[in-house]
A = this chain, B = another copy of it.
């Protein structure tokens, strides 16, 4: 309905403001976006898939925030089916399909099928099993889930309570949940969708010479049909359902599942690396399951690359909005007529957003280097060489914790930097925030897995101390060797001089701090034999410091190897420095106590950071543009490419909010809630 607000304009013209921002920077967006997003044809794929998705009404995000959780699953399932059909129609490959999931930006109820479910069968099934299952999986004639985590055990996989006991007589495994905490829990796609699941259970085999006494051979994967054909109801002996509302993943049916002495055939156990003799129930192992860890670390490299896109997305929204948004005139200004200051011009806003922008770039180069490390290690593994696997596993653990913490915290930092409107649905951050908050605790809790890196580093340092003349096999060895040689004679260079920054000295400071913290941990654990648990906080800090050192080192190395034109590469170099110096400033005292940096370096950080932010500020909008986030993905009034922030916010409120279609009865003296038209979200029996 037309009204007097139809032609009102905002006080400041957001479109003109962003146009001006873009015109005053020489950053080459095309070149930079190709530099950042070329791997696997990302940019071309994004454009192609986006064009298809955007046309489909089912994929409109406009009403998502007004739907209930059951409605979100319903919609999620409808979309999952539609994506599968689009995949066939357009001949999408798997990467195209994943791109569509990325753009729709919600966890598909089908998600686990082609990820953990298919991967596990591919990697852990015997050749016979693969021949049977893979065609069905690839034709999507079934939907699979991956049931490992239980109500009582997540991180501690060895503590899983579900058992699979082999019955030699009937040649069947009996799957059983002895307690309530043995319930499978959290497993994606399992709550309402999946027909099958990989069930990870303690393999129980008869003790030698006994038939009714069993001993555990540890957790093993079994493939189980969990819902019957036709009815889609679980068989007797299985209880399965959706666990209910969560912070995020509204569209995903994370499930629970319990077994009551449920019998599956001998062939249910995936038998590539472990076999149970069908007749005798004897256990045997073939091959090296360490290969499986390899694919875990690939998942982690993906997590880093994903984290950089999450950060880039939040920063894109925040940088655009704070460029458009104006508030207060300069306190020192005499003029009363000049326009108010752009919020992004306040150093208190810059210090929250620009280091995060720099971090998105930093994560890019480290993700890149992790892919390379992964491919190298993988090809080694295929030749039977497992030497680098421990290093890869260590690095991926520390970096997973660091990068997902950056991204999870960064979303909220961006939101707060946007002030009041950051709290609104127009921010576009609600969904991404709710979903991403899972990352710091899943796939290795961020505080737990830092032990894996620290433990590995202590081993390496122990070796370096014992054999100071051994030939280094990797960069960590080299660092530790150098550290031990120079330990007594350390003289840190000034990294920050007046108006100039020594990039090499910055890298040296980060590496030295990492090595020195490792040495201290080595002393406490190996020399002083302190209890492991008493060192956990220290080990967490070590892993963080070492991971930061890796990120700084990779970022620095990329400055030499990239071939982007000089205007743009100057800005990227400033981003490198901002990431490094801001990180240094955040934990300055650890640089001082490890003699990694001089006090004068540390004292100079605040000023150097302010200057770097001033240099980067004019390029901020173009730098976020280079991440090529489509408006459809952002789903944000505040972060729109065209800067029409207020028009979009008003449209959401005035034209699209279903609540405004109902007139409510405000009066407490009446029991009636709805006065006029519309159902106003009637509750009926829902409570």
Contacts and interface: CB of A to CB of B under 8 A. Distances in A.
Contacts of A348: 447-448, 536-537, 540
A423 interface: yes
B424 A441 contact: no
A159 interface: yes
Contacts of A71: 68, 681-683, 686
A87 to B, nearest CB: 9
A50 interface: no
Given A74-B682, A668-B140, A673-B74, A246 B331 contact: no
A204 B666 CA distance: 33
A374 interface: no
A676 B579 CA distance: 54
A362 B654 CA distance: 44
Contact of A657 (B66, B84, B241, B446): B241
A243 interface: yes
Contacts of A247: 423-424, 430, 433
A11 B179 contact: yes
B675 A244 contact: no
A143 B666 contact: yes
A191 B441 CA distance: 38
A612 to B, nearest CB: 13
A618 interface: no
Which size class do A's interface residues fall under? 35 or more
Interface string A128-157: 000000000000100100000101111110
Interface stretch (A166-174, A267-275, A284-292, A602-610): A602-610
Given A67-B686, A423-B438, A153 B241 contact: no
A346 interface: yes
Interface in A236-277: 237, 239, 241-248, 253, 256, 258, 260
B8 A687 contact: no
Given A75-B683, A676-B232, A681-B68, A650 B610 contact: no
A337 interface: no
A235 interface: no
A456 interface: no
Contacts of A8: 177, 179-180, 182, 258
A592 interface: yes
A660 B242 CA distance: 6
A492 interface: no
A358 to B, nearest CB: 16
